[in-house]
Chains A and B, each alone.
Chain A
Amino acid sequence: MGKKILMKGNEAVAEAAIRAGCKYFFGYPITPQNEIPEYMSRELPKRGGVYLQAEAEFAAANMLYGAAGSGVRVMTSSSSPGISLMAEGISYMIGAQLPCVIVNMVRGGPGLGNIAPAQSDYMQAVKGMCHGDVHLIVLAPSSVQEAVDLMYDAFDMADLYRNPVLLLGDGMIGQMMEPVEFKESTNKNLPPKTWATTGTRNSPDGKRRIINSLSIEPEDLENLNIEIQKKYKTIVEKEIRYEEYKMSKDLDIIFASYGTTSRIVKYVIKKLEEEGIKAGLIRPITLWPFPEKIFENWAENSKAKFFLTVEMSAGQMIEDVKLSINGKKPVYFYGRTGGMVPEPKEIIDYAKSLLKK
Chain B
Amino acid sequence: MGKIVYEKSKGLTDVPLHYCPGCLHGVIHKLVAETLVELNVLDRAIGVAPVGCAVFAYKYFNCDMHEAAHGRAPAVATGIKRAVPDSVVFTYQGDGDLASIGTGDIVHVAHRGEKITTIFVNNAIYGMTGGQMAPTTLPGQKTTTSPYGRDPAHCGFPYRVSEMLATIPSTAFIARVAVYDIAHLTKAKAAIKKAFQMQIEGKGFSLVEVLSTCPTNWGLTPVESLKWLKENMEPYYPLGIYKDVSSNEGGN
**A208 to B60 alpha-carbon distance, docked (Å):** 12
* Residues in A whose Cβ lies below 8 Å from that of B64: 197-200, 203, 208-210
A interface, by DSSP: helix, strand, loop or mixed? mixed
Q: Verify A69–B80 contact, CB threshold 8 A.
A: yes
- Contact partner of A200 (CB less than 8 A), chosen from B43, B48, B77, B108, is B43
**A164 to B76 alpha-carbon distance, docked (Å):** 16
* Residues in B whose Cβ lies below 8 Å from that of A24: 79, 82-83
Least CB separation from A58: chain B residue: B72
* Residues in B whose Cβ lies below 8 Å from that of A68: 79
Interface string of B45-71 (1 = CB under 8 A from A): 110100000010010001111111100
Q: Verify B63–A208 contact, CB threshold 8 A.
A: yes
**A255 to B81 alpha-carbon distance, docked (Å):** 49
Q: Verify A65–B76 contact, CB threshold 8 A.
A: yes
Q: Verify B58–A210 contact, CB threshold 8 A.
A: yes
* Residues in B whose Cβ lies below 8 Å from that of A213: 67
Least CB separation from B46: chain A residue: A197
**A253 to B46 alpha-carbon distance, docked (Å):** 58
Q: Which of A70-78, A141-149, A217-225, A346-354 contacts B (4 or more CB under 8 A)?
A: A70-78
**A71 to B82 alpha-carbon distance, docked (Å):** 12
Q: Verify B46–A65 contact, CB threshold 8 A.
A: no
B84 is an interface residue with CB less than 8 A from chain A: yes
* Residues in A whose Cβ lies below 8 Å from that of B123: none
Least CB separation from A59: chain B residue: B75
Q: Verify B66–A50 contact, CB threshold 8 A.
A: no
**A54 to B74 alpha-carbon distance, docked (Å):** 11
Instruction: Tell me, rounded to whole Å, the shortest Cβ–Cβ distance linking A37 to chain B.
Output: 15
- Contact partner of A71 (CB less than 8 A), chosen from B63, B67, B83, is B83
Interface string of A189-229 (1 = CB under 8 A from B): 00000000111110100001111111000000000000000
A185 is an interface residue with CB less than 8 A from chain B: no
Q: Verify A74–B79 contact, CB threshold 8 A.
A: yes
Least CB separation from A197: chain B residue: B64
Q: Verify A66–B67 contact, CB threshold 8 A.
A: no
**A98 to B75 alpha-carbon distance, docked (Å):** 16
B172 is an interface residue with CB less than 8 A from chain A: no
* Residues in A whose Cβ lies below 8 Å from that of B66: 65-66, 69, 197, 210-212
B227 is an interface residue with CB less than 8 A from chain A: no
A26 is an interface residue with CB less than 8 A from chain B: yes
Binding site for B on A (CB under 8 A): 24, 26, 50, 52, 54-56, 58-72, 74, 88-89, 92, 96, 197-201, 203, 208-214
List 11 A-B pairs, Cβ < 8 Å: A55-B104, A62-B69, A63-B76, A65-B75, A66-B66, A66-B75, A74-B83, A209-B64, A210-B66, A211-B65, A212-B65
